[in-house]
Amino acid sequence: MIALSDDLEYTLPMPTLHRFGNCKLQMFAREHGVPHVHLAFPEGKAVLAIDTGELLAGKLPRHGADEARAWIAANRAMLLARWAELQGE
Protein backbone atom coordinates (compact mmCIF):
# COMPACT_ATOMS: atom_id res chain seq x y z
CA MET A 1 0.00 0.00 0.00
CA ILE A 2 1.29 3.45 -0.88
CA ALA A 3 0.90 5.99 1.91
CA LEU A 4 -0.21 9.57 1.45
CA SER A 5 0.93 12.05 4.04
CA ASP A 6 1.11 15.80 4.23
CA ASP A 7 3.79 15.34 6.89
CA LEU A 8 6.32 13.82 4.51
CA GLU A 9 9.22 16.05 3.65
CA TYR A 10 10.65 15.03 0.31
CA THR A 11 14.24 16.17 -0.01
CA LEU A 12 14.83 14.16 -3.18
CA PRO A 13 13.79 15.15 -6.71
CA MET A 14 10.06 15.27 -7.36
CA PRO A 15 9.74 16.65 -10.86
CA THR A 16 6.38 17.75 -12.16
CA LEU A 17 5.99 15.66 -15.28
CA HIS A 18 2.71 17.08 -16.53
CA ARG A 19 -0.01 19.56 -15.65
CA PHE A 20 -3.59 19.49 -16.80
CA GLY A 21 -6.20 21.82 -15.42
CA ASN A 22 -5.56 22.15 -11.70
CA CYS A 23 -3.74 18.81 -11.52
CA LYS A 24 -0.02 18.33 -11.09
CA LEU A 25 1.44 14.89 -11.93
CA GLN A 26 4.71 14.15 -10.10
CA MET A 27 7.11 11.29 -9.48
CA PHE A 28 9.34 11.07 -6.42
CA ALA A 29 12.84 9.60 -6.19
CA ARG A 30 13.63 6.53 -4.11
CA GLU A 31 10.04 5.37 -3.76
CA HIS A 32 9.00 1.80 -3.10
CA GLY A 33 6.34 -0.52 -4.43
CA VAL A 34 5.00 -0.64 -7.94
CA PRO A 35 5.97 2.16 -10.34
CA HIS A 36 3.49 4.97 -9.74
CA VAL A 37 2.82 8.68 -10.07
CA HIS A 38 1.45 11.16 -7.58
CA LEU A 39 -1.38 13.49 -8.57
CA ALA A 40 -2.13 16.68 -6.66
CA PHE A 41 -5.55 18.27 -7.18
CA PRO A 42 -7.08 21.18 -5.25
CA GLU A 43 -9.46 18.56 -3.80
CA GLY A 44 -6.68 16.27 -2.58
CA LYS A 45 -4.06 13.77 -3.65
CA ALA A 46 -3.98 10.41 -5.38
CA VAL A 47 -1.44 7.80 -6.43
CA LEU A 48 -1.90 5.83 -9.67
CA ALA A 49 0.03 2.79 -10.89
CA ILE A 50 1.85 3.51 -14.15
CA ASP A 51 1.20 0.16 -15.81
CA THR A 52 -2.50 -0.21 -14.96
CA GLY A 53 -3.78 3.24 -13.96
CA GLU A 54 -5.09 1.61 -10.77
CA LEU A 55 -5.76 3.93 -7.85
CA LEU A 56 -3.23 2.92 -5.17
CA ALA A 57 -3.95 5.61 -2.58
CA GLY A 58 -5.98 8.73 -2.05
CA LYS A 59 -9.02 9.90 -3.93
CA LEU A 60 -9.16 10.79 -7.62
CA PRO A 61 -11.70 13.49 -8.50
CA ARG A 62 -14.10 12.42 -11.22
CA HIS A 63 -13.25 15.43 -13.42
CA GLY A 64 -9.56 14.50 -13.54
CA ALA A 65 -9.63 10.70 -13.53
CA ASP A 66 -10.12 10.06 -17.24
CA GLU A 67 -7.61 12.67 -18.35
CA ALA A 68 -4.97 11.48 -15.87
CA ARG A 69 -5.35 7.83 -16.86
CA ALA A 70 -5.32 8.66 -20.58
CA TRP A 71 -2.13 10.71 -20.24
CA ILE A 72 -0.44 7.99 -18.20
CA ALA A 73 -1.41 5.34 -20.78
CA ALA A 74 -0.16 7.48 -23.68
CA ASN A 75 3.14 8.17 -21.91
CA ARG A 76 3.69 4.82 -20.16
CA ALA A 77 7.11 4.07 -21.70
CA MET A 78 8.47 7.50 -20.76
CA LEU A 79 7.05 7.23 -17.24
CA LEU A 80 8.58 3.79 -16.67
CA ALA A 81 11.96 5.02 -17.93
CA ARG A 82 11.73 8.07 -15.65
CA TRP A 83 10.76 5.81 -12.73
CA ALA A 84 13.87 3.65 -13.29
CA GLU A 85 16.05 6.76 -13.51
CA LEU A 86 14.69 8.31 -10.30
CA GLN A 87 14.89 5.03 -8.39
CA GLY A 88 18.51 4.51 -9.42
CA GLU A 89 17.74 1.33 -11.34
**pLDDT single digits (tens) 19-70:** 888 889 998 887 778 999 999 988 889 999 999 999 999 998 887 788 889 9
Q: What is the pLDDT of residue 73?
A: 96
Q: Output the pTM of the full model.
A: 0.80
Q: What is the DSSP letter of 53?
A: -
**pLDDT single digits (tens) 57-81:** 999 888 778 888 999 999 999 999 9
Which CB contacts under 8 angstroms, 24+ apart, belong to 29-34?
29/86, 29/87, 29/88, 30/86, 30/87, 30/88, 31/86, 31/87, 33/1, 33/2
